[in-house]
Structures are given as C-alpha cells and as structure tokens.
Amino acid sequence: MPARAKRRTAATTDSRKVYEALRRRMMCLDLAPGCALDEGQLCQSFKVSRTPVREALIRLASEGLVELHPNRGARVSPIEFVDVVDHYEAMDVFLPVACHFAAVRRTPPDLARIKAALERLHAAVARMDSSAIIRGNYEFHSAIADACHNRCIERGYRQMLTDKQRLAQHGLPGTTYDKGQALADRFRGTARISSELLEAIERRDAPEARRRARMLNDFVRSQVIGVLSASIGRQLEVPLPGGKGAGQKKAQPRGCA
C-alpha cells in the first residue's frame, strides 16, 4: 500500500476511535450538555493530530450531539427545556410509526437482532450497569429502526434516539454506582413495556405495536416529568420571624460551603 494511502487509513481509524469514544461519553453524560470541547486538549488526550479530531466532531455534529461555532470552537449540544417538550411530542408520532413498520416488515434476522438487544438491556438492568443500560436501550430501538425497511423513517428515528438516551439520564446521581442503581430503577418499567412491544412486533400485530409504543413513550415521559417536578422545598423548615424555628441556623443551599 502506498505511503499516502496508509496515512489516510490511519487517519480514518483515528477519527473513528475519537468519534466512538466521544459519542459514548456524550451519550452517558460523562461529557455534560453544553460543555466546551477544546481541539488541542482532545488531540493530547487521544494522541492524534487535529484532522481526526475535527472529522469526529463534524460527524458528531451531524448527529446533533455537538455544536460547531466558527471562531468559537465546539461544545456538546445543550439540552433545553423546550427540547424535552418537543422530543416527547415528536416521539408520540415517530415511535408508533417506527413500530408499525417494524411489525409489518420485520424479517427473521431483524427479529433476532431486536431480541438480542432487548436481552442485553434486561441483563444490564439486572446488574445495574448504567453504560450498558444506555447502550442496550439504544441498540433495541436502533434494531427496530432497521426493521422498518424505510430509509427515511430509519434515519429520522435514529436521529431522535441520541436525544432520547441523553434525556433518559436527567436528574441521576453523580457517582457511578448510584447512577447505575437509579438508572436501573428507572428502566425496569421501560424494559417490561419493551418486552410487550417486542411480542407485538413478533406477532406482526401492527395495531398492538403502535399501542405499546405509545405506552412506552408515555411511561418514559412520566419518568422525566417526575424528575423535572421534583422539589426538596417542602422538606425544609424555613424559620419565620418570631415564630417556630426562629433563631435556628438557616439551611444552606446544597453544594454551598
């Protein structure tokens, strides 16, 4: 192989390595939404030149995981409240449609891939492995997208899956163990309804697949609403002048010294 072709092959391999590592960290929120991505630091971290890093960032931007700003560099795409609302509204449309097409058009190999992904999800939930839960859930829905055998639906649905995985982790604890336990608690219901969805797809029961898909989206939405509406305000006893609790030390906000 000519030297130039070898260099290009090596650059492609490096670009894929950087892309896969960054994508995994973004999907698991190890790289928080909105955080800056410094090309120089990434080059040092991955021990590669700027070209593979830039190629990886461009690819991640095409998936909506990175924002590229001229003269200001790159950052992980933030998650705004309006994004949460828009996402679950759109999933009310996309998820039933994708599952309908999967039920009608799935092939035996498609079904085998969906089943294998769901088995990995159940196993990840059982051992409370946060990274594996996120990966297994993505692979399950990605396999459903493949089973649609419609490139437009597959492309649109797969694009939404990246947002789906990041939104699913809102409000989780910071430590690895606690995050795994909390995510497992959250995904037990998801895994149960996903099993019922798989049964409908296996029977080629498109109406039931659409119904289970809506149940799944409603369940996940309820989990996110629970996180967004949670408050510790009622747990605090606020001292009132001359009343009960007066003179007590005022509770400090969490995270303050």
- pLDDT of 250 reads 46
CA angle, 18 as apex, 17 and 19 as ends, to 5°?
90
Nearest CA among 7, 73, 69 for reference residue 40: 73
**Alpha-carbon span 29 to 25, nearest angstrom:** 6
CB count within 10 Å of CB 88 equals: 20
SS3 for 228? helix
Q: State the 10-residue block means of pLDDT for the chain, 257 residues long.
A: 58 88 88 91 94 94 90 86 83 95 98 98 95 92 96 89 77 63 90 98 98 95 71 57 51 42
Instruction: State the burial class of residue 219 (Cβ atoms within 10 Å of its Cβ: 0-12, 13-18, 19+).
Output: middle
CB count within 10 Å of CB 196 equals: 14
- Please list, residue by residue across 166-191, b when 16 or more beta carbons sit within 10 angstroms of its beta carbon and e when fewer do: bbbbeebeeeeeebbebbbebbeebb
Residue in this structure with the two tokens 């690819």, named with its chain if needed: 59
- pTM, rounded to two decimals: 0.74
- pLDDT of 257 reads 36
Given a contact cutoff of 8 angstroms between Cβ atoms, the answer to whether 24 and 130 are in contact is no
End-to-end CA distance of the chain: 61
Structure tokens at 214: 């809506």
- pLDDT of 1 reads 56
- pLDDT of 160 reads 86
Helix-strand-coil percent breakdown of the chain, rounded to 5? Answer: 70, 5, 25
Domains parsed from the chain with CATH numbers: 13-76 (1.10.10.10), 81-226 (1.20.120.530)
Residue type, 194: S
Nearest CA among 64, 89, 83 for reference residue 221: 89
